[in-house]
């Protein structure tokens, strides 16, 4: 059933088509709501971005929610998410084809789960934020620039939320599970997941976590704190004083501030700009972003503000950036009268994938950074990033952010990067463990095992292992061969085919995927 048929069958809501970043023309074709939906992309957007939340409300008391979870078919939910993940919607085409890979929302779902969970702060031993509450749907989180285009991810996922079997599933569980499904289905060899996140009724609890997001504040005037830079901030000694300042952790107004007013979960991807008197300043370079200072920022954010060890930090960034890509290619849009989407999308403004197979789990991330020389470059949209010095490199089509190169520049981070490049099993395990910790801690359940103890509804994705008897791997030379199972395999992995037991939905997803591959790079709605 297509998204629109399903929507129609449910007798629901409004259909809104639009381009990138909330801009561009919007065409409202039907509406039965009292409040006009926001012009932000695909159908179902208003399910992932209330006001229509009430229709699909998850129980707010634990006992009722746990009762619902007891009957939840996790394998079916997995299959249904995979089906949606591999069906490119023309309103917001899935990535992959522009990097010679298959169409998949795995990267987008991964970023959704990460940005929802990455609000966690440990302040004086107390946890604040986290994905429980599902507050990214609401003001202010949905307006944070960090979360740009994640309304599209929620809109795609809302196709799951409106299915009768999942209407009671919480958004907190859905977003974190979808991110994990993306990783597992793309080939991450092991993972575990526990359900039990209770949704909040508003985004109020996130007000103290950042300064952004007042454009459509739904609270009283007094409660809507203005869109403003943080009150107290500082620069690194070697940083250009005109460059973005860093926010002090604790602000006078009581906010528990991220490291910037905004900046992709609180680290500016392009890193600090060096001042001209710095010994590392190179006036011949395209930009003056410091990998060393960026490492200081990453450590300050991940260790001091979020409570991650250096080892976990390296595993998390490496695993997170194995899938998906940056979007900064609106400038190349051949027809400026058309919205920037698909291969011409702009989200954060950096352009390109980190690895050669951004829709499939692989081990390129550290290898390319350790073995290649990287030089300053700019995305088509003008953001500072890095490219391989050698145009003949196997990795010449990939890019790095300054914050990526930080993990091979700082000596302690680099030790872990080297270990992960030598031992893929260690990388897989450390990333899976860190991802579990990332997605399972929140103010409501501060310890990573709390959800398991509370709701007792967990999976280690055994059903996927059983259903994947045959997979193919890409070797360094790009030659593929078939092996028994991806699970537990230590190899240069790129999962390119899965056969065996598949549910109807997954089968359908595979057929749809084959169709997608034969369409234009921007993809088409194929259902």
Distance CA 116, CA 86 (A): 22
Q: Indicate the residue among 198 and 401 with the shorter CB distance to ligand HEM.
A: 401
Angle, helix 74-85 to helix 171-186, in steps of 10 degrees: 70
Q: x/- site string to ligand HEM, residues 8 to 37, per CB under 6 A?
A: ------------------------------
Q: Are 290 and 402 in contact (CB under 8 A)?
A: yes
Asked if 298 interacts with ligand HEM (CB under 6 A), we say yes
Q: Indicate the residue among 107 and 444 with the shorter CB distance to ligand HEM.
A: 107
Q: How far is the CB of 249 from ligand HEM (least distance, A)?
A: 17
Asked if 107 interacts with ligand HEM (CB under 6 A), we say yes
476-494: b (≥16 Cβ within 10 Å) or e: eeeeeeeeeebeebebebb
**239, two tokens:** 């940083």
Q: Are 353 and 325 in contact (CB under 8 A)?
A: yes
- CA 315 vs CA 17, 87, 476: distances in Å: 38, 29, 22
Q: Which of these segments, 39-47, 109-117, 282-290, 477-485, binds ligand HEM (CB under 6 A)?
A: 109-117
Q: How far is the CB of 357 from ligand HEM (least distance, A)?
A: 13
Backbone angles phi, psi at 510, to 5 degrees: -65, -45
Q: Are 183 and 318 in contact (CB under 8 A)?
A: no
Task: Examine residue 131 and say whether the peptide bond preceding it is cis (omega within 30 degrees of 0).
Answer: no
Q: How many residues bind ligand HEM (CB under 6 A)?
A: 25
Asked if 325 interacts with ligand HEM (CB under 6 A), we say yes
Per CB under 6 A, the list member of 155, 317, 498, 527 interacting with ligand HEM is 317
> How far is C-alpha 164 from the geometric centre of its chain's CA atoms?
26
- 69-98 binders of ligand HEM (CB under 6 A): 95
Catalytic-role residue among 115, 270, 321, 440: 115
3-class SS string, 225-277: CCCCCCCCEECCCCECCCCCCEECCECCCCCECCCCCCCCCCCCCCCCEECCC
Per CB under 6 A, the list member of 104, 347, 359, 388 interacting with ligand HEM is 347
Dihedral, 424, 429, 435, 438 alpha carbons, nearest 10: -130
Asked if 326 interacts with ligand HEM (CB under 6 A), we say yes
Q: How far is the CB of 196 from ligand HEM (least distance, A)?
A: 21
Q: Are 385 and 350 in contact (CB under 8 A)?
A: yes
Per CB under 6 A, the list member of 140, 320, 444, 523 interacting with ligand HEM is 320
Q: Which of these segments, 136-144, 314-322, 413-421, 443-451, binds ligand HEM (CB under 6 A)?
A: 314-322
Q: Are 297 and 403 in contact (CB under 8 A)?
A: yes
Q: Are 397 and 391 in contact (CB under 8 A)?
A: no
Q: Indicate the residue among 199 and 384 with the shorter CB distance to ligand HEM.
A: 384
Q: Indicate the residue among 350 and 365 with the shorter CB distance to ligand HEM.
A: 350
Quick check: is 115 catalytic?
yes
Task: Examine residue 140 and say whether the peptide bond preceding it is cis (omega within 30 degrees of 0).
Answer: yes
- 235-274 binders of ligand HEM (CB under 6 A): 264, 267, 269
Q: Indicate the residue among 69 and 315 with the shorter CB distance to ligand HEM.
A: 315
Per CB under 6 A, the list member of 340, 348, 486, 516 interacting with ligand HEM is 348
Q: How far is the CB of 323 from ligand HEM (least distance, A)?
A: 5
**146, two tokens:** 């960090």
Residue matched to tokens 């006036």: 283
Distance CA 483, CA 497 (A): 11
Per CB under 6 A, the list member of 3, 14, 108, 432 interacting with ligand HEM is 108
Per CB under 6 A, the list member of 44, 65, 114, 386 interacting with ligand HEM is 114
User: What 3-state class would DSSP assign to 130?
Assistant: strand
Asked if 196 interacts with ligand HEM (CB under 6 A), we say no
Asked if 327 interacts with ligand HEM (CB under 6 A), we say yes
Asked if 299 interacts with ligand HEM (CB under 6 A), we say no
- 397-416 binders of ligand HEM (CB under 6 A): 401, 403
Q: Indicate the residue among 137 and 437 with the shorter CB distance to ligand HEM.
A: 437
Q: Are 421 and 109 in contact (CB under 8 A)?
A: no
Distance CA 286, CA 291 (A): 14
Asked if 323 interacts with ligand HEM (CB under 6 A), we say yes
Q: Are 203 and 140 in contact (CB under 8 A)?
A: yes
Q: Which of these segments, 121-129, 311-319, 450-458, 461-469, binds ligand HEM (CB under 6 A)?
A: 311-319
Per CB under 6 A, the list member of 19, 21, 83, 110 interacting with ligand HEM is 110
Q: Are 103 and 516 in contact (CB under 8 A)?
A: yes
Using CB under 6 A as the criterion, which residues of the chain lie in contact with ligand HEM when the complex forms?
A: 95, 107-108, 110-111, 114, 264, 267, 269, 298, 316-317, 319-321, 323-327, 347-348, 350, 401, 403
Active-site positions? 115
């Amino acid at each position: 059933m297509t998204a629109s048929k399903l929507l129609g069958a449910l007798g629901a809501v409004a259909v809104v088509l639009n381009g990138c970043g909330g801009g561009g023309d919007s065409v409202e074709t039907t509406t039965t709501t009292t409040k006009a939906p926001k012009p932000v992309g695909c159908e179902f957007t208003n399910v992932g971005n209330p006001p229509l939340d009430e229709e699909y409300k998850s129980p707010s008391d634990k006992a009722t929610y746990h009762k619902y979870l007891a009957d939840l078919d996790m394998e079916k939910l997995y299959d249904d998410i995979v089906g949606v993940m591999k069906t490119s919607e023309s309103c917001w085409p899935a990535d992959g084809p522009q990097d010679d890979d298959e169409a998949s929302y795995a990267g987008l779902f991964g970023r959704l789960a990460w940005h929802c969970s990455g609000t966690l702060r440990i302040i004086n031993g107390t946890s604040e934020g986290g994905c429980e509450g599902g507050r990214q749907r609401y003001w202010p989180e949905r307006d944070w620039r960090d979360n740009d285009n994640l309304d599209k991810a929620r809109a795609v996922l809302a196709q799951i939320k409106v299915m009768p079997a999942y209407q009671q599933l919480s958004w907190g569980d859905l977003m974190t599970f979808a991110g994990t499904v993306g990783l597992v289905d793309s080939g991450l060899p092991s993972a575990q997941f526990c359900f039990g996140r209770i949704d909040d009724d508003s985004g109020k609890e996130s007000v103290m976590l950042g300064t952004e997001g007042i454009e459509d504040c739904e609270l009283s005037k007094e409660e809507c704190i203005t869109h403003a830079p943080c009150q107290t901030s500082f620069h690194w000694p070697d940083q250009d004083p005109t460059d973005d300042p860093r926010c002090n952790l604790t602000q006078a107004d009581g906010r528990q501030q991220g490291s910037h007013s905004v900046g992709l979960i609180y680290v500016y991807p392009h890193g600090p700009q060096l001042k001209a008197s710095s010994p590392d300043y190179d006036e011949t370079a395209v930009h003056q972003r410091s990998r060393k200072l960026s490492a200081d920022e990453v450590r300050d954010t991940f260790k001091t503000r979020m409570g991650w060890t250096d080892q976990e930090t390296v595993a998390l960034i490496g695993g997170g950036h194995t899938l998906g890509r940056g979007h900064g290619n609106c400038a190349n849009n051949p027809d400026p009268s058309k919205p920037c989407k698909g291969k011409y999308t702009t989200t954060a403004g950096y352009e390109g994938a980190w690895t050669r197979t951004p829709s499939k789990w692989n081990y390129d991330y550290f290898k390319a950074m350790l073995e290649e020389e990287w030089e300053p470059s700019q995305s088509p949209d003008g953001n500072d990033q890095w490219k391989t010095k050698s145009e003949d490199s196997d990795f010449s089509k990939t890019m790095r952010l300054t914050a990526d190169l930080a993990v091979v520049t700082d000596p302690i981070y680099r030790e872990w990067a080297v270990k992960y490049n030598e031992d893929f099993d260690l990388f897989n395990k450390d990333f899976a463990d860190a991802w579990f910790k990332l997605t399972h801690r929140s103010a409501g359940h501060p310890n990573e095992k709390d959800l398991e103890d509370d709701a007792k509804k967990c999976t280690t994705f055994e059903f996927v292992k059983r259903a994947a008897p045959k997979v193919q791997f890409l070797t360094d030379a790009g030659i593929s061969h078939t092996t028994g199972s991806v699970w537990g395999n230590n190899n240069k992995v790129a999962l390119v085919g899965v056969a065996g037991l598949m549910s109807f939905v997954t089968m359908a997803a595979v057929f749809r995927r084959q169709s997608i591959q034969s369409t234009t790079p921007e993809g088409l709605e194929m259902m």
